[in-house]
Structure 1
Amino acid sequence: MREPVFIKRNAEKWQTFEQILSGNDNYLHPDKKAELFIELTDDLAYAKTFFPQSQITQYLNSLTAKVHRSIYRNKKADTNKFIHFWRVELPMLLYEARRFLLYSFIIFALAALIGAFSAANDDKFVRLILGDSYVNMTLENIEKGDPMGVYKQEGSSFMFLAITFNNIRVSFYAFVLGILFSVGTAWVLFSNGVMLGAFQYFFYQKGLFLTSFLTIWIHGTIEISAIILAGCAGMVMGNSITFAGTYPRSVSFVRGVQQGAKILVGLIPLFIIAGFLEGFVTRLTEMHILMKIAIIAVSAIFVVGYFVVYPVLVYKSEQAFLANISTTRLSFKDEDSFFIPAKQNAYSTESATAIISDK
């Protein structure tokens, strides 16, 4: 069977499935979902066998993955939605948003370099960014022999609460301002990056780079990571407005808000951990250097491991499962006997139509 015939014969069925998945599919009976999944894996197996490099194969692979996640969520997450969120749902969202995470990191890193470069070439820049009162206070602390004394001014509990709230506020702005076509998110990332670059260079000028680095990054590793991840969430929402793809813009926006908000919720532990470290640990400036390095290293490994590496592993695991299903589902003795005629329905979406129109 030729590819255009294959698509024409099944397109309406795929459109129905996509319409169901784009809304709330909780009303759909589990048995019906299982039937849906079997039909899709049949189609995917056929497409991989006869049209392995085709766009329709990629489309069916993506659609089948969505159905699989929906079934898995209903079977597993109902008993423990909390665990499912951290083990599967959030990692898959992060994988799908991986390019936005990269963009967010690049914007922040470039801004930090700009901040450091500006501080190196303009003596007034640090005061402009950090404020005279902070700079003067830090200079006094340096003269007293306690350059990191700023972290000891308030009580530990108060700092923990205040800093956690501030981290949530900044990250919330980074997310919400994504509604401005991601420009607002980029600005939050840029401004915070410039501030970090100027701040770190200020201590470098005073010959205190290592001292400041091993103190600031005790909490900064997780704190800065949370801001960058919040920027990723904001870009997910902003991109859903700017590039709606095959979905109606309103549907794309709602999906973008939901996905971005879930990523933001996933950052709550980071806000709390960063606040705790800054409030209770960073102030211990006399702590052994090896302990400081260990905290920074463990924080970095955790962030990269869970938010970057683990999502890739979850995605590959799902793809391996789908590949196994699609290759073992049917043996094609008779191509024409493979198909079940698509039923007439009142649903339609643009996703399948976009592919069909190319054929």
Structure 2
Amino acid sequence: MALSLFKTAEITPPADIEAASLRSDRFRLEREVDWQRLDAIVTALEKNAPRRISDDDLLELPVLYRKTASSLAVARETSLDAATLSYLEALVRRAWFQIYGPRIGLFGWLRRFFNGGWSQAVREIWLDICIAFAVMLAGLLVGWILVGRDESWFYSLVPGGMAQGRVPGADPEILRETIATEQSAEGLGVFAASLFSNNTGVSILAFALGFAFGIPTLLLLVYNMALLGAMLWVFADAGLGWEFGAWLSVHGTTEIGAILLAGAAGLHVGRTMAFPGDRSILAAMQSAGVRAAQVMVGCTIMLIVAGLLEGYARQLVGGTGSRYAIGIAMLVFWIGYFTLVRKPRERET
């Protein structure tokens, strides 16, 4: 009995394989003409040669795509051979991209991004921007108050390499020299590049930490602004608060704005994770991630502008009024862009 079963097991698999092979061949022969026709059309479109496609084939493209997609579904259900499945999956994917895929190139994407895409993404996270702004303002006040009450806090908040002689009790003339202009622009390109690298790192970190429900992002924003508050107290105590504000405003309205948006983007992702609402966490994260990514692309652009302002304009423009004029002009520009530039309505088809 055992021998009989063993012999049957040896005979049955080849028969099953032969039957499956015949079924797969018949399935392919019945539909292969449509597949080849769709493949030729898609190949012509991929090669950017639509003139090679006849009008009849072009009109039949959606129909051929649906037939091939249906063939793929049947092939999966009936467990046809792997080669057929692989071919159909690749063909359907290529055809989908040509029919429904995006038709916008790099310059088109940039035009859409600057023509309302970026500003809309920023407006959509307005609540997170308000939270981040309040936290940053609180951090500025904390740094000012702590150093005002105990100057030793300055050395805890401000790294020694960043202070560069700008410490509590420093001579006002020494402090004034640290915010003076340069004689020429020679070497400022390297300086601007280093500043851009540093500020970009802070912004990326503020965004990345948002995935921990936004809490580390808020702490980072508080610390960075506490550092600024401590430095501002030093200059104000020396009677140079107005001059320091002018020196800072040249690039600060753009740089701090970029850090604010980056922190808000990270907070938006973290807040969405914590409170997804009626949606699943993955669905909520997907929409929040796309929105936050758009904001971060814009933050990079802002940081490039801030690096140029910090590396050139701030070092070459010496008048307090001129510096404030640059800083205020940039602030008005960014606020105007984010509030006034609206994304054009999509044309209905």
Structures share fold, TM-score greater than 0.5: yes
> Shift in Å at residue 74 of structure 1?
6.7
Match in the other structure for 2:340: 310
Cα distance in 1 for residues equivalent to 2:222 and 2:116: 31
| CA-to-aligned-CA distance 1:43-85 (integer Å, 9 cap, x gap) | xxxxxxxxxxxxxxxxxxxxxxxxxxxxxx9788898221111
CA contact (8 A) 1:219 1:277 kept: yes
Matching of residue 301 in structure 1 with residue 326 in structure 2: no
Match in the other structure for 1:343: none
Match in the other structure for 1:226: 258
- Residues 79 and 155 of structure 1, relative CA distance in 2, 3 Å threshold: closer
CA contact (8 A) 1:111 1:191 kept: yes
Moved more, 105-114 or 127-136: 127-136
Corresponding residue to 2:230 among 195, 198, 202: 198
Match in the other structure for 2:272: 240
Please give the residue correspondences for 1:254-333 in structure 2 after superposition, counting only pairs within 5 Å.
Answer: 254-284=286-316, 287-307=318-338, 309-310=339-340, 314=342
Cα distance in 2 for residues equivalent to 1:224 and 1:103: 15
Match in the other structure for 2:194: 162
Helix, strand or coil at the partner of 1:244: coil
Helix, strand or coil at the partner of 1:282: helix
Helix, strand or coil at the partner of 1:147: helix
Matching of residue 185 in structure 1 with residue 217 in structure 2: yes
> Shift in Å at residue 251 of structure 1?
1.9
- Residues 163 and 141 of structure 1, relative CA distance in 2, 3 Å threshold: farther
> Shift in Å at residue 127 of structure 1?
1.8
Q: Which runs of 5+ in 1 are unaligned?
A: 1-31, 33-72, 326-359
Q: What is the TM-score when the length of structure 1 is the normalising length? A: 0.62
Cα distance in 2 for residues equivalent to 1:243 and 1:185: 17
Q: What is the TM-score when the length of structure 2 is the normalising length? A: 0.63
> Shift in Å at residue 207 of structure 1?
0.9
Cα distance in 2 for residues equivalent to 1:268 and 1:195: 22
| CA-to-aligned-CA distance 1:215-263 (integer Å, 9 cap, x gap) | 1111111111110011111012112211112221122122222211111
Helix, strand or coil at the partner of 1:90: helix
Cα distance in 2 for residues equivalent to 1:208 and 1:305: 30
| CA-to-aligned-CA distance 1:257-301 (integer Å, 9 cap, x gap) | 22111110011221011111111121236x233321210111110
- Residues 133 and 97 of structure 1, relative CA distance in 2, 3 Å threshold: closer
Count of matched residue positions in the alignment of Structure 1 and Structure 2: 245
Q: Give the root-mean-square deviation of aligned CA atoms.
A: 3.0
> Shift in Å at residue 129 of structure 1?
1.0
- Residues 151 and 183 of structure 1, relative CA distance in 2, 3 Å threshold: farther
Please give the residue correspondences for 1:1-359 in structure 2 after superposition, counting only pairs within 5 Å.
Answer: 80-132=108-160, 134-135=162-163, 137-138=165-166, 142-144=172-174, 146-149=176-179, 155-284=187-316, 287-307=318-338, 309-310=339-340, 314=342
| CA-to-aligned-CA distance 1:158-178 (integer Å, 9 cap, x gap) | 111111011111000111100
Cα distance in 1 for residues equivalent to 2:284 and 2:244: 44
Greater relative contact order (Cα < 8 A, sep 6+):
1
Q: Between Structure 1 and Structure 2, whose CA radius of gyration is higher?
A: 2
Helix, strand or coil at the partner of 2:165: helix
Match in the other structure for 2:26: none
- Residues 151 and 134 of structure 1, relative CA distance in 2, 3 Å threshold: farther
- Residues 94 and 199 of structure 1, relative CA distance in 2, 3 Å threshold: same
Q: Which runs of 5+ in 2 are unaligned?
A: 1-61, 63-100
- Residues 246 and 119 of structure 1, relative CA distance in 2, 3 Å threshold: same
- Residues 254 and 76 of structure 1, relative CA distance in 2, 3 Å threshold: closer
Cα distance in 1 for residues equivalent to 2:175 and 2:277: 58
Cα distance in 2 for residues equivalent to 1:205 and 1:255: 47
Letter in 2 for 1:294: A
Letter in 2 for 1:121: R
CA contact (8 A) 1:77 1:84 kept: no
